[in-house]
Chain A
């Protein structure tokens, strides 16, 4: 079965550079989520999109922005990178049923971002 695809898998950037992470959800999944996992930490929710609209926002820095496109893929844009942004960035997708009923989120393999 198709899974969530993330690209690139690894990314090395210098401080103050920008980075763009891409996520391709499982076919027919209309909701995309982004999570950040620092070394030895649990994943932290950043932002999510449902039907191309932002549905919720977590602990995402103002330097980061994201969007979901008409084909449901999503991009996380990170500017003015800092050393502390080094982490694993996961994208997850789900097929969101009507409000009030939650669904399983399937995670991609992650993008490992290293900021030097």
Chain B
């Protein structure tokens, strides 16, 4: 099965509310990254959290990582209609020669309504 599995698969909220998405994974990782994708478009990098970090903030985004439970969460505060997109977590495992391989989760489709 997938290295990263996300829940919920779909989330619909009102503008101004907070949105929380969860990601679980199976193997040891170097870091975990969250990406956003608008329908049929490219992947936009949101935030990276390293395996020795527990929490990270970036603007309205807050990411937590619990390596003992192999899980992460992404919180978007004060959501806006423009936040409507699919959100993917991706776990990074390093190659021996440098760089890292990303394994993506199944994604959460977030819809923020006015």
Contact = CB atoms under 8 A, between A and B. Distances in A.
Nearest to B6: A42
Interface size class of A (residues with CB under 8 A): 35 or more
Contacts of A24: none
A50 B94 CA distance: 12
A102 B94 contact: yes
B95 A109 contact: no
A104 B33 contact: yes
Interface of B: 2, 30-31, 33, 35, 40-45, 48, 50, 88, 92-107
A88 B104 CA distance: 15
A86 interface: no
Contacts, number: 90
A15 B104 CA distance: 29
Given A45-B101, A99-B94, A105-B102, 18 more contacts: A31-B99, A42-B104, A43-B104, A50-B97, A51-B97, A51-B98, A55-B95, A55-B99, A56-B99, A90-B42, A90-B43, A92-B43, A94-B99, A97-B98, A101-B94, A105-B45, A107-B44, A110-B42
A88 B33 CA distance: 20
A48 B101 contact: yes
Q: State the majority secondary structure of interface residues on B.
A: strand
For B44, B95, B98, B104, the residue with the greatest tally of chain A CB atoms inside 10 Å of its CB is B98
Nearest to B105: A42
Contacts of A42: 2, 88, 104-107
Contacts of A33: 99, 101-102
Nearest to A3: B42
Contact of A88 (B30, B40, B107): B40
B104 A50 contact: no
